[in-house]
Structure 1
Amino acid sequence: MRSFHFNGSRIVKTGIAIFLTAIICEWMNWPPVFAVITAIVTIEPTVSDSIKKGIIRFPASAIGSAFAVFFITLFGNSPITYTLAAVSTILVCYKLKLHAGLLVATLTAVAMVEVIHSNYLIAFFIRLGTTTTGLLVSTAVNLLVFPPDYRKDIAKNIQLVSERTGTVLDRLFRTILYEGHGERTEEKAVIQQLTEVIRRTETLIQFQRDESTLFSRLRGNNKDFRLAEEQLLFLHNLEYHLTTLLHIPLQHISWTTAERDRIMHAVTELAQNLKNSAGYNHDKQQQHLQTITDLFWIDHENAKKDNKAASTPFSQKFMILYELAAIYHAVNQFYYHSAAKYPDNELDKQ
């Protein structure tokens, strides 16, 4: 079955929760508006959030209802009643750190002023009943209808970032090695996009971690999810090294044409592996890493001999090779340990 997009599934679940909540309230002869408001805001990205915030929203709504009843008793349906009910609810919820329920509680307090005319105590308990109905229905819908599962979205984002990282790595080194003083504007824009995708994926991973913690006995083996966490950490490290490369000045880089070609060949192979992980060859990449490491130490020794009086102990060549070696080491370590720990990568099957 084709999965719904994240936003689309929440819209559908919200509609179902509203419909079921309204039906139950009509059956109980309760005004559905308060229950519906609660149901709308209780459809969270994860079931665990629905439960955790629901536990906060119930007492917060009770506080709002209590203040509404109290001030209606004193002042009736008047502007001062709306004001005092709302302000008092906000202050008490804030003081009790019921932040997740503050909006629902305030809306409940204000809305109750308009609909309560008598039997204040009964109205108060009815509001508690409608709030409970909205919380329970929306949580049940969130759990049973398109239950939150972000593993496919996480895998898709990781693959996207990996492919784009390979592309920007290749472009960046072509600029460094052959164009010299290029602005690297395009590479900066791509890396910024990678950063945004990584941040979004971190959020999805946090959502999935919450779900896995809550339903650890129901969701079974999560080795693919643990692998995704490691992959994202790897991509985060790559993003850091690419960003560092962007800020290295390109003046006074004196590699020979043969050295530039050797470096570019190694980078191209690495970029292809990032775009297509199935073609990764550990032994071959270790050879490329050795080539980069040899150039690194040769440049380091030359720098010590020729630039003893330089203002900085590190040349641009030294820093570029260092970052490239770090990228190579991260990629090789990632693929080596991932293959050893997870020979059957379930993320690739989704």
Structure 2
Amino acid sequence: MKKYFIGSRVIKTGIAVFFTALICEIVHISPAFAVIAAIVTIEPTIHASIQKGLIRLPASMVGAAFSVLSIYLFGASPLTYTAAAFLTILVCFKLKLHAGLIVATITAVAMIDVEHTSLWADFWARLGGSVIGIIISTLVNMFILPPDYWKKSREQLDLVIVHTNELLRAFVDIRIWKAQGNQPGHILSESFRKLTDERLLLEQYIQQQQKELRYQLPNSAAKVLLDKEAALTEKLKLIHYHLWNLIHAGRSGKELKWNTEQRRRFTEAAEAVQANLLHWMKEDTLEDEKQFQDLFELFWSIEMPTDHHEGYFPIESTYLYELLSIHQLVDDQQSGERQLHKQKEAMLSGYSSG
């Protein structure tokens, strides 16, 4: 994937710095502190920008106050810088203003090296500049190239579904057909770990978009889509739980006693699960239940072991139960989509007849 040096955050930082310096020039305030505040307040998300901005405002007040106090007590000396920085850091930590620590400390030490006509005038000027920088950068982050996680979350969702199918297919090849022998079993565990990381990234994108939605104009369609993606992600978490059980059960070393026909039926059902999973975000869902009916009959035909030293459940029943559980989760989601689609059609027909 091609990456560009000049991204949206770089552009927004430049815009925020320009307008911050412009406003400071108009109101006759030194732009240095304001520009610093504007630069550090640009965050990847609107939510983070606002939340940290609310912390940086009181932190800047703390830094400016201790700068004035240190100058009053010690004049312009090394002890002044030390006292201003030390006290600012100490109080910010005590007040848990960690996000504003850098802005507050820079404000505190930078004010010392400025010619002072009136300490109180300097205090309000530096504080006002910081406030301007924080507010401008927050507004720029909200209205100019706002962070968009819709595309990222949708692409990540598609990626997780594809890789889930690939891992299920690999399980069938390795554990059901022994196509690669017993040696590459660790490949399944490693692939599952990577799949889990991908799903966690998907959850992060959705959570970030949910936070961003608070600061955007109300959009019911966007909320419905986001809720749908969040529901699919929760279902994927459960599917991955059953997929891990499949992989873990295969590591027991128990011999699979199925004949070729039984292995074929399991494979066809797994392929049907993969096909249905690819149709999660579509309305043309698949409804072929024949493979799963055959699998269900096969599940009940398995004889339970009489010797519990060999385990309470044979490996065949575990494989069937976990695959049927995955199918149930996929089918439940599709049933909900079909029901929602029918309700939508009923509403539209009601409007047209009215």
TM-score of the pair, normalised by structure 2: 0.86
- Equivalent residues of 2:156, 2:198 under 8 A apart: yes
- Equivalent residues of 1:116, 1:123 under 8 A apart: no
Partner of 1:205: 206
Aligned AA (1:207): Q
Aligned AA (2:257): S
Moved more, 262-271 or 186-195: 186-195
Q: Please give the secondary structure, in 1, of the residue aligned with 2:107.
A: helix
- Equivalent residues of 1:282, 1:336 under 8 A apart: no
1:1-350 to structure 2, matched below 5 A, reads: 8-115=7-114, 117-179=116-178, 181-215=182-216, 217-221=217-221, 222-248=223-249, 249=251, 250-275=253-278, 277=280, 278=282, 281-284=285-288, 286-299=289-302, 302-303=303-304, 306-310=305-309, 312-341=311-340
- In 2, the alpha carbon distance for the partners of 1:283 and 1:65 equals 67
Instruction: Note the C-alpha offset of 1:332.
Output: 0.9
- In 1, the alpha carbon distance for the partners of 2:52 and 2:235 equals 33
- In 1, the alpha carbon distance for the partners of 2:34 and 2:341 equals 46
Question: Which sections of structure 2, spanning at least 5 residues, go unmatched?
Answer: 345-354
Aligned AA (2:287): D
Specify whether residues 309 and 223 from structure 1 end up closer, same or farther in structure 2 by C-alpha distance, changes over 3 A only.
closer
Instruction: Note the C-alpha offset of 1:74.
Output: 1.6
Aligned AA (2:91): V
Moved more, 326-335 or 35-44: 35-44
- Equivalent residues of 1:167, 1:275 under 8 A apart: no
Q: Please give the secondary structure, in 1, of the residue aligned with 2:232.
A: helix
Instruction: Note the C-alpha offset of 1:129.
Output: 0.8
Specify whether residues 339 and 42 from structure 1 end up closer, same or farther in structure 2 by C-alpha distance, changes over 3 A only.
farther
Q: Please give the secondary structure, in 2, of the residue aligned with 1:283.
A: coil
Deviations along 1:56-105, one digit per CA (max 9) or x if unpaired, are 21011100111111112222333332232222222212222223222321
Aligned AA (2:265): R
Q: Please give the secondary structure, in 2, of the residue aligned with 1:218.
A: coil
Aligned AA (2:264): D
Deviations along 1:27-47, one digit per CA (max 9) or x if unpaired, are 333222221221122222332
Deviations along 1:5-46, one digit per CA (max 9) or x if unpaired, are 9x9222221221122212222333322222122112222233
Deviations along 1:91-145, one digit per CA (max 9) or x if unpaired, are 2122222232223212222332333544221111011111111111111111111
- In 1, the alpha carbon distance for the partners of 2:88 and 2:338 equals 55
- In 1, the alpha carbon distance for the partners of 2:285 and 2:205 equals 30
Question: Which sections of structure 1, spanning at least 5 residues, go unmatched?
Answer: 345-350
Q: Please give the secondary structure, in 2, of the residue aligned with 1:247.
A: helix
Aligned AA (2:41): T
- In 2, the alpha carbon distance for the partners of 1:189 and 1:27 equals 60
Specify whether residues 28 and 311 from structure 1 end up closer, same or farther in structure 2 by C-alpha distance, changes over 3 A only.
same
Instruction: Note the C-alpha offset of 1:271.
Output: 1.8
- In 1, the alpha carbon distance for the partners of 2:239 and 2:10 equals 36
- In 2, the alpha carbon distance for the partners of 1:187 and 1:116 equals 67
Aligned AA (1:192): R
Partner of 2:350: none
TM-score of the pair, normalised by structure 1: 0.86
> Aligned pairs, how many?
334
- In 2, the alpha carbon distance for the partners of 1:184 and 1:276 equals 29
Instruction: Note the C-alpha offset of 1:320.
Output: 1.9
- In 2, the alpha carbon distance for the partners of 1:213 and 1:219 equals 10
- In 2, the alpha carbon distance for the partners of 1:338 and 1:83 equals 64
RMSD, aligned α-carbons: 2.5
Q: Please give the secondary structure, in 2, of the residue aligned with 1:336.
A: helix
